[in-house]
Amino acid sequence: MINADVAMTSEADTTINVEKIRTDFPILKLNVGDKPLIYLDNAASCQMPQQVIDRLVHYQTTQHANINRAVHYLSEVATMEYEKARHRVQQFVNAREDREIIFTSGTTDSINLVMQGYGRKFIKAGDEIILTTLEHHSNIVPWQMLAEEKGAVIRVVPINDAGELDIEAYEKLFNDRTKFVGLIHVSNALGTINPVKSMIAFAHQHGVPVLIDGAQAAPHMAVDVQDLDCDFYVFSAHKLCGPTGIGMLYGKSSLLESMEPFKGGGDMIASVTFEKTTYAAIPHKFEAGTPPIAAAIGFGAAIDYLCSVGMEQIAAYELELLHYATESIQGIKGARIIGTAAHKTAVLSFVLDGIHPHDIGTILNEDGIAVRTGHHCAQPVMERFKVPATSRASFAFYNTKSEVDALMAGIRNVQKIFL
């Protein structure tokens, strides 16, 4: 059996000046009708601090140009700032070198890049790919497409009633045909933190590379790709208080060098003739065309902001909020938490007896409370718990216990209306 390894504990320093932090987020001053906004949809997208907004404006007003294609001042500055952002991502995840960081349009694009560049080249008919029941659709559908094309087979790790992976079942799935593993670091639907480090180590004992979907982990805990020893790691900037339209792929350099480009075009080439095209070195081999330059710079600024708060502090404070919210909702008759893993990030997925999640979200919105309702792009999870959907409150380091109290009051109000 694999011993669980957890990236977040309650012993970490929880020193955060939440009221001061909230002043950095202009959107938190917004009213929804006559009610103050209570934003609890952070697993879908985090809000952006003024520091990131200002950095984007500064780029657009004083540094904007296309990169890598000129010797004039603005182009050189834009190129330098773009590569600085890459370096910040490299530092944030502790990659060995900048060239192991590929900018993409987001987590989904990163996974598809690996599927196209690695999977299409190395996965053959009869090979097996291991995924888990907890995966977001973006780490299921690309591998299904590949399996259908190649004649490969998808194997799935089940979960228990708490929403935790069955590690013994995971180990038993490995055989000589196992060629790839895709694992979600943290479940977006339930908040379960998976023991990915030990799962990666087990896969490597069998010579199998592992991709980690870190979309819900990177915003909420320190990530060290060298310590994890993952082969690929992916996430999006907008989950980290950054812009939309930009994400990253970390890949071990040897694997990235072995992969075929996903897209063809400008900047990803070394030379082009009608007889033959040769490709640029990594990371540029995977960054065809004009990239989202401003978004990348905003990505770097978002990382700077999170690091100024402190990832350990963020993790500990959000865990405190989760515990408070969990205890609070347990006092509401007819409320049931979906996903009760021992180790979670600050995600509270729940159902109310006799009330559809969409109705819950609609009434909460009238009180200015933003939660996510639906299957959360995790339909296999919903099927496992025999629910069509859940309501999901997901907390960030700028949320407060008073907002949790407002959520609980809102839930009671929903029950009064429908029951």
| Residues paired with 393 in a beta bridge | 348
How many whole angstroms separate alpha carbon 214 and alpha carbon 234? 5
The three state secondary structure string of 101-157 is EEEECCHHHHHHHHHHHHHHHHCCCCCEEEEECCCCHHHCHHHHHHHHHHCCEEEEE
CB atoms within 10 A of CB 176: 9
The token pair at 99 is: 């060239």
Task: Kindly name the residue from 46, 230, 307, 377 that is annotated as catalytic.
Answer: 377
How many whole angstroms separate alpha carbon 233 and alpha carbon 252? 9
Question: Is 230 a catalytic site residue?
Answer: no
8-state DSSP, 290: S
Question: 165 phi and psi, to 5 degrees?
Answer: -65, 145
One-letter amino acid of 137: H
One-letter amino acid of 126: G
Determine how β-strand 247-251 pairs with β-strand 101-104.
Answer: antiparallel
Tell me which residue has tokens 């690929």. Answer: 232
CB atoms within 10 A of CB 71: 6
Closest CA to 160 of 190, 203, 130, 201: 190
Active site residues: 377
